[in-house]
Amino acid sequence: MVKLKKIASRESPTVRDPRERFVSLANKRVEAAIQQLRLVGNLANRKNYEFTDAEGKKIVRALQTALDDVKERFKGDEQRSSGTFRL
């Protein structure tokens, strides 16, 4: 027997408008991303950490690439980079 998925109506209290979901998630995710960027920025404190200029540039380049990917996605380009960061 095939089970059919029940589609909730707009009147259902558990289903939110796509715009409302976007705004809610955007506020949370952007704030969290900014906080994480601040934490990465703390790594630039040479009094607490030791790193080479090349390592610093690699971190900035990886962050810039990720931001460029986000910009492209908001322009409508759905390509994603699958790279992960490692020093």
3-state secondary structure the chain: CCCCCCCCCCCCCCCCCHHHHHHHHHHHHHHHHHHHHHHHHHCCCCCCCCCCHHHHHHHHHHHHHHHHHHHHHHHCCCCCCCCCCCC
Q: What is the pLDDT of residue 33?
A: 98
Q: What is the pLDDT of residue 62?
A: 97
Model-level pTM greater than 0.85?
A: no
Q: What is the pLDDT of residue 86?
A: 84
Q: What stretches in the chain show pLDDT beneath 50?
A: none
Q: What is the pLDDT of residue 85?
A: 81
Q: What is the pLDDT of residue 87?
A: 82
